[in-house]
Amino acid sequence: MAANLEGAIREETPTARKAWYKSLYGQVLIALVLGIAVGHLFPAFGESLKPLGDAFIKLVKMIIAPVIFCTVVAGISGMNTLESVGRVGAKALAYFLTFSTLALIVGLVVGNIVKPGAGLNIDPETLDASKVSEYQTRAQDQSIIDFLLNIIPDTLISGFTSGQILQVLLVSILTGIALATLGEKGKRISSAISDLGQIIFKIVDIVMRAAPIGVFGAMAFTIGKYGIDTLLSLGQLIATFYLTSILFLIIFLAPVAKLAGFSLWRLLVYIRSELMLVLGTSSSEAALPSLMDKLEKAGASKPVVGLVVPTGYSFNLDGTNIYMTMAALFIAQATNTPLSLEQQVLLLLVAMISSKGAAGVTGSGFVTLAATLSVVPTVPIAGMALILGIDRFMSECRALTNFIGNAVATLVVARWDGALDRARLDAALTGQRDN
């Protein structure tokens, strides 16, 4: 028995790590650099590689719904009491509301201090509003009531075919609750769904092998279409946004992680492959299945992971929130539009509501900004044309910050609810477990 245990420990903690370039992290990093080089040196060719990134994101979206369903159903049906589901949900929403509001305030404060748009002296009448009309139309089509009603799918399975995360989550929660009330029959069905989940996560492993190709295509397209020169023209806004997001991580997320008993830095190292994937594709959804798997391996219980991660993708978008208030202030400053304290508070309140309907995909932040500005007419919505060209570069930072915020939120809520295995977490974050 002792010999077997010793052998198991040696197998769990391998002494020889594979070369960095053979890991997913290393391969995605190499693909990222190559994509930038190809897009810069051969812009037309780089732009033509867009289907590679699109195809990979479609592959990932294909498996998001079954991943959420299997994780949530197996987790909820295995809970001791259904009260636990409501308790975890309430704690998650309380966390989301707190940190989303903090992110909005941070963007507003930094925008007022740094004033990235000051001195541009842009006349709103000279801007081509037609460039942002598509986003304005999409923003007008979504209201908070429409968003809430859209959580309910047309049929029991339509959420799975439409790719609506919250619809899948609702059906999964109801299915898990139903199975929990069926006794032994429910346990047998739940066990079968749990086994199906293992197959789904094996598919995730297979799909992730294509991540370097997807990142290469997405990054080559971004640089080829928009060019590195675009970064320089509005560099102050981009730099301010990235630095503000980093400050948000250091000032707010790092301390709350420490209070929950883990290091934010070690967590970032643990999910580094997923971070590179998000950076390369500008989509936090691209790494959602892999994040859920890793958080479970790090000791967070299946029900908490299943509830918090998918919900956070619509309700806990720290990067998007920082972007919205900062971008709105930038447009106001660039067009010499004065905003009183009362108007800025109104902007903040509107952004709190409009941000809840944004999903963690490329372009959603721009649509949400349009929705916010359409309610606060003081800031000319045509001013969005100023940042349209650099939005793709800013979406990368939005997606990264959203992704990190949801990873932290899941572990914090798990610790808050007593559903975090500290030994497994410490082993994962210190590299003692095979990732």
Written as six digits, the tokens of 2 are 């002792």
Percent of the chain with pLDDT over 90: 11
Neighbours of 41 (CB within 10 A): 12
Q: Quick one: tokens of 358?
A: 């944004």
8 falls within a domain: no
CATH code for the domain of 84: 1.10.3860.10
Confidence of residue 413 (pLDDT cuts 50, 70, 90): very high
pLDDT interval class at 232 (50, 70, 90): low
In a domain, 3, yes or no: no
10 within some domain = no
Any domain includes 273: yes
- Is residue 159 domain-resident? yes
Q: Is residue 368 part of a domain?
A: yes
- Average pLDDT (355-375) is 61
> What is 160-196 written as a DSSP string?
HHHT-HHHHHHHHHHHHHHHHTSTHHHHHHHHHHHHH
pLDDT digit string (tens) for 313-326?
A: 777 888 888 888 88
> Does residue 266 or residue 288 have the better pLDDT?
266
Q: Is residue 61 part of a domain?
A: yes
Contact indicator for 283, 400 with CB cutoff of 8 Å: no
What does the mean pLDDT of the chain come to?
Answer: 78
Mean pLDDT, to the nearest integer, of 287-307?
87
Q: Could you tell me the pLDDT band of residue 79, with boundaries at 50, 70 and 90?
A: low
Q: 414: which residues sit within 8 A by CB, 6+ positions away?
A: 299, 300, 301, 304, 305, 308, 420
Residue 404's domain comprises 23-429
Mean pLDDT within 261-286: 86
Q: Note whether residue 435 is domain-resident.
A: no
Q: Which residue is associated with the tokens 């590179």?
A: 276
> How many domains, the chain?
1
Say which residue, 174 or 145, is predicted with more confidence: 174
Proportion of the chain above pLDDT 70, given as a percent: 78
pLDDT of residue 7: 45
